[in-house]
Structure 1
Amino acid sequence: MYVEKIVQLFFFSSSFIHIDIQRNNGKGFNSQVPLLFFFSSPYPIEFSLKNICRSWQAGDLIFFQPKRINGDVSERRKTHTWLLLLLLLNKHFRFSETLAMYRQTYSLIEGKINTTSDEEWWGYNQVRTPEKELALTEFRLRLKDIATEKQLKNDIYCKRWLIARQYNVDQAVEMFKNSMSLREQMEADKLIAEYTPPEVISKYMTGGDIGHDKEGSVLRIEPWGYLDMKGIMYSCKKSDLEKSKLLQCEKHLKDLEAISEKLGKPCTGLTVVFDMDNVGSKHMWKPGLDMYLYLVKVLEDNYPEMMKRLFVINAPTLFPVLYKLVKPLLSEDMKNKIFVLGSDFKDTLLEYIDAEELPAYLGGTKTGPDGDAKCSDVICHGGEVPTEYYLENTEDFETMEAITVGSGDKVYVEYKVENEDSFLKWEYKTEEHDIGFGVFRKNGDDWEEVIPIERRDCSIMTLDGSYKCKDPGTYALCFDNSFSMMTSKNIRYAAEVMDPEVDKLKDDINKMIKDSTWDELSAQIS
């Protein structure tokens, strides 16, 4: 009865608690049959609570993982009070163990990371369990002939690999081996001393490390809206893009090691401000998106659990479309690290970043030489890559469709749009000469112009664009060669319909937005 009362009061005060009861079967805690309960209602759930209380027995361990809450001070105070009571019960009133576990879970409720030692850090938004400790021991044993002594002695380093594979030791060991193979291939240990990225990457690959957040983690600003991924891909080799990203992470590790020594505590990971100002249809160029996501995966596979927080600011109306593309790559743990903000982001950023560390154009006080509010000396703000950087044979036509538009003719390429607010996106290029291009929508037996035909010279560079289809129906890309009476045009093109499925994604996106919803943010943008 005492257990029931405490758990019930705890649920009155907090609606974001995950309780995991694991049964002691005399041979250790059986991780195969945990009882998991998730609640999202602020009201008492009598039936479920009775099930929890009925399931609890002396000797059980109760693990729970609070998710971050955005309530007022009194709400937080209630949550912490009942958290301590439930922890006391869990630890059978052993106060030292209770306080140790409380320190681990405190940061999860407040949305802050407050690590004091390598031993206490078990990942962002995660807590220690007996299973994790056993996995860490086994992981070290499995790597004793592969990893260096420095790597094996570093608790945080070893835990990162396990966290990335949900503490599956076999998968974590395989991941580590694959990473060591890539590091050898790329000579990662020599990158800082010996590798210099191509000029086009240094000048036009957006982003830069500006300082540290309030907890000592590396603070990185990414002005993604000004990234010309197509120009960069046309101007350098894939291996240079890979090496540049590896070099970036090697510098992060060196920086974190130095700041940890300076502050006398372990400082881990990155806080990233991902600025989507100026994001438009050019950012939906599929080869560019694929390459960007590939580089993100390279980093995650070789520098796991480095992301601590990701602030998405100036989120545009097409954010749901882009989110749909990256969603398959996001774990639930990663989603909990993302804060989606509109243009009113200053106060939220300053909760986690001191003003003197944040660039002035983002609401801080830090400036570069001559009072540069954008700190362009350390943050690359991208821009369009000049064509003189382009390499030969950069066009990848193998994945594009080919058509010939006869002299004096027009060709309509049709696409069925089933849902409102879908995006029709395209890219095209002629082998020689120019071509007229427009977008039409079927209206009965006629074609209704939605983007007027415009004659463009696209024999040198691929042109691309998109159109938001507010209404379902049949749409068509029109290639118009009616102005040419003598010359046919050979065209390469690629197009697709992208359904943002906003309704299906709303719950996911809303969880990442602080004190608002996507509907409210998108209304402000519109």
Structure 2
Amino acid sequence: MSKGVLKAPVLQDDEKFALMKFRRSVSDILKPEHDDHFLLRWLRARQFNVENAEKMLRESLKWREKWGVDDLDEWEPPVVFEKYKPYGTTGFDKDGSVVIIIPFAGIDIWGLLHSASKNDIIKNTIRILEKFMKLAYEQSKMYGPEARKFVVIFDMDNFVMKQYAYRPAAELVINVVQMYSNNYPEILKYCYIINAPKIFSFGFNIVKKFLDEYTLSKICIYKHNRNKWLPAIFERIEPRYLPKYYGGELTDNDGNPKCLEKICWGGKIPKEYYISEEDSYNNTSTYKITTIKKGSKLKLYFDVEDSGVFLKWDFKTELYDIKFGVRALNVKTGEKFNEVDLKRVASHESEETGFITCQPNYRYTVIFDNSYSYFKSKKLTYSVVVSLPLEKLEKSANKIEEKILDQNENECEESK
């Protein structure tokens, strides 16, 4: 790697004028670290349209506040992420940019969605991105502005499309891609998608609709042909920073070529991490659509008799926010309390998901409250379900696994 000086970007006269105008227009929200290179990310993402770039940046800063992005270092994510979220970094490219490796087939999207809330999955993704952003910023002090961008290697070996036919999984992927596109513009230096099977092109054709032209121009897709993708990677990354498993020189201290000390390879999440359960990958019957009229409420009641039960919700509204809360009543003593305080949530901007652990012999009331709105009715799409008790969940999960294994065997027989 060659060290460099953080040079001023070379711009045309009209671009210099746009940058000067943009800096003035957003001066009230800028921080000391927001230099010209930072501002140019947003200008380039909006083709140097100052008004559109300002709107994008201001909306992103509101998004950061909503998600508490600057405080995520203090957040303790569910342990399932640390053990089963596949990603890692093995070093830097020849210009000092961070190299991120993602063994994509190691993502058990079904298991993740049943082991953590959707919000926590997104929050953890933001946390990882922010960690790499900070590392890249430090690299740029030594190697120049290009080091603020990432080089990403997606290994699609053994990728199975079936998981993403499950609607919540597909929605999660799209939400993450949109989140990235709206809030992290111009940070991708190069992306190598390697070992891509034929079925991958179908999924990528859907995802790329949510990516801008700049990002798409940085993506290069390779099939199972190491003779093609390995030379391309070596043009930017020295062999000492690439795992031996992929044809580089890097190993763990014990010689493991997969570099398990640097990369989490994910894998199937054990059922003991599950907090919720559904009957099959294609089950969407729990979702309902209704309209809550102005000045009114929707209340849903759930009586819980067993321990080891979870109440799970997932909802979104169109155009406007709504109040949401969960109340609990001890049916024996009459004691009442708020499990989730009733407050307005921006469910028109992103889906609201979550869960609580229920107590036996309690009645839970889920409330969607539009009583504060005198003029607007709210269209609501929601799923609120109570899981089976843990011992029944274990039996059901075993049946699901057996069904999936049978399907896999059938597919193998058909392919022979």
Amino acid at match of 1:280: V
Residue 317 (structure 1) shift: 1.4
CA distance in 1, matches of 2:215, 2:39: 19
Alignment of 1:112-127 (within 5 A): 117-120=6-9
Deviations 1:127-173, CA, capped at 9 Å, x for gaps: x333322221111111111222331xx11111111122222222211
Q: What is residue 233 of structure 1 aligned with on the other side?
A: 113
8 Å CA contact retained: 1:206, 1:380:
yes
Q: CA, structure 1 residues 394+326, in 2 after alignment: closer, same or farther (shift >3 Å)?
A: same
- Identity of counterpart residues, as a percentage? 32
In the alignment, which of 201, 220, 227 is matched to residue 320 of structure 1? 201
Amino acid at match of 2:19: L
Q: CA, structure 1 residues 295+257, in 2 after alignment: closer, same or farther (shift >3 Å)?
A: same
CA distance in 1, matches of 2:173, 2:149: 20
Q: CA, structure 1 residues 458+183, in 2 after alignment: closer, same or farther (shift >3 Å)?
A: closer
Q: What is residue 33 of structure 2 aligned with on the other side?
A: 150
CA distance in 2, matches of 1:282, 1:375: 28
Residue 185 (structure 1) shift: 2.2
Q: CA, structure 1 residues 295+361, in 2 after alignment: closer, same or farther (shift >3 Å)?
A: same
Q: What is residue 199 of structure 1 aligned with on the other side?
A: 79
CA distance in 1, matches of 2:103, 2:25: 41
8 Å CA contact retained: 1:245, 1:299:
no
CA distance in 1, matches of 2:163, 2:36: 39
CA distance in 1, matches of 2:178, 2:5: 29
Q: What is residue 373 of structure 1 aligned with on the other side?
A: 257
CA distance in 1, matches of 2:101, 2:33: 31
Amino acid at match of 1:288: A
Deviations 1:397-456, CA, capped at 9 Å, x for gaps: 883499xxxxxxxxxxxxxxxxxxxxxxxxxxxx99xxxxxxxxxxxxxxxxxxxxxxx9
Higher alpha-carbon deviation: 385-394 or 208-217: 385-394
Q: CA, structure 1 residues 120+387, in 2 after alignment: closer, same or farther (shift >3 Å)?
A: same
8 Å CA contact retained: 1:227, 1:383:
yes
In the alignment, structure 1 residue 392 sits paired with structure 2 residue 272: no
In the alignment, which of 139, 150, 159 is matched to residue 22 of structure 2? 139
Alignment of 1:185-196 (within 5 A): 185-192=66-73, 194-196=74-76
Amino acid at match of 1:260: S
C-alpha RMSD over aligned residues: 3.1
In the alignment, structure 1 residue 176 sits paired with structure 2 residue 79: no
8 Å CA contact retained: 1:191, 1:247:
yes
In the alignment, structure 1 residue 251 sits paired with structure 2 residue 251: no
Q: What is residue 189 of structure 2 aligned with on the other side?
A: 308
Residue 315 (structure 1) shift: 1.0
Q: TM-score, normalised by structure 1?
A: 0.52
Residue 290 (structure 1) shift: 2.3
Amino acid at match of 2:33: K
Q: What is residue 245 of structure 2 aligned with on the other side?
A: 361
Q: CA, structure 1 residues 169+115, in 2 after alignment: closer, same or farther (shift >3 Å)?
A: farther
Residue 381 (structure 1) shift: 0.6
Residue 280 (structure 1) shift: 1.6
Residue 333 (structure 1) shift: 2.2
Deviations 1:304-326, CA, capped at 9 Å, x for gaps: 11111110100101122112211
Higher alpha-carbon deviation: 183-192 or 457-466: 457-466
8 Å CA contact retained: 1:210, 1:220:
yes
8 Å CA contact retained: 1:209, 1:218:
yes
Q: CA, structure 1 residues 186+281, in 2 after alignment: closer, same or farther (shift >3 Å)?
A: closer
8 Å CA contact retained: 2:181, 2:212:
no
CA distance in 2, matches of 1:394, 1:131: 56
CA distance in 1, matches of 2:4, 2:220: 21
Deviations 1:479-525, CA, capped at 9 Å, x for gaps: xxxxxxxxxxxxxxxxxxxxxxxxxxxxxxxxxxxxxxxxxxxxxxx
Q: What is residue 161 of structure 2 aligned with on the other side?
A: 281
CA distance in 1, matches of 2:33, 2:238: 33
Q: CA, structure 1 residues 198+301, in 2 after alignment: closer, same or farther (shift >3 Å)?
A: same
8 Å CA contact retained: 1:118, 1:155:
no
Alignment of 1:471-482 (within 5 A): none
In the alignment, which of 320, 341, 349 is matched to residue 233 of structure 2? 349
Instruction: Decide which structure has the larger Cα Rg and report it.
Output: 1
Q: What is residue 211 of structure 2 aligned with on the other side?
A: 330
Residue 116 (structure 1) shift: 6.2
Amino acid at match of 1:312: I
Q: TM-score, normalised by structure 2?
A: 0.64
- The runs of 5 or more residues in structure 2 that have no matched partner are 288-386, 389-394
Alignment of 1:24-63 (within 5 A): none
Q: How many residues align?
A: 296
In the alignment, structure 1 residue 219 sits paired with structure 2 residue 99: yes
Where 1:371 maps in the other structure, the secondary structure is: coil
